Chain A
Amino acid sequence: QKEVEQNSGPLSVPEGAIASLNCTYSDRGSQSFFWYRQYSGKSPELIMSIYSNGDKEDGRFTAQLNKASQYVSLLIRDSQPSDSATYLCAALRNTGKLIFGQGTTLQVKP
């Protein structure tokens, strides 16, 4: 079992819909979680971080964390074609290592 798991997709949604990206993690010692976006041929960039149970909203993005279920998700409202990218979930171990999932490819179709 991978420490951070994501469905590789692709996840295809129509423009304007809500895209829901999911991630599970196995290390209960991880306390901080991050979502990175990676456009094709580019490097990952941080878009959201979440540290406590519940929801965190930033514009069209909402990160959700459920530590009891070891589950992290990212919702993208009003999806745009420019949101088409690979989304990487990451968990920060208490040793300071940031561990990534394999990423979910999102396609937003006009």
Chain B
Amino acid sequence: DVKVTQSSRYLVKRTGEKVFLECVQDMDHENMFWYRQDPGLGLRLIYFSYDVKMKEKGDIPEGYSVSREKKERFSLILESASTNQTSMYLCASSYPGGSGELFFGEGSRLTVL
């Protein structure tokens, strides 16, 4: 079974702190994604990556950056957390070729105070 593991299920941070959300997948997938999920807004794509050291902006990249130094690991970085970044963050991976079949991690619920 594909396993996508997110490092933290729950985080509480203060405004202005730097936040790292880590995601690791064990299926050798080329594609990895970060979404955030908010009530009434569904899942919105923040960043995605099709290869190591490669990244592309999604629909809401402002205030976020990503890092993919190894194929299995994709990190989401909030340089200076703000209260409007309080959300559920979901990492996903998929096979190459633009497949719509995503395998999601359990999610990281971030609260910024």
Contacts and interface: CB of A to CB of B under 8 A. Distances in A.
Contacts of B35: 100
Interface string A12-43: 00000000000000000000111000000011
B104 A99 contact: no
A31 to B, nearest CB: 10
A43 B40 contact: no
Given A44-B43, A88-B43, A49 B104 contact: no
Contacts of B33: 98
B101 interface: yes
Interface residues of A, number: 23
Contacts of B45: 97-99
Contacts of B50: 96
Contacts of B90: 43-44
A49 B42 contact: no
A90 B33 CA distance: 15
A45 B2 CA distance: 12
Nearest to B90: A43
Given A43-B90, A92-B98, A97 B48 contact: yes
Given A98-B100, A102-B42, 4 more contacts: A42-B106, A43-B90, A46-B101, A97-B45
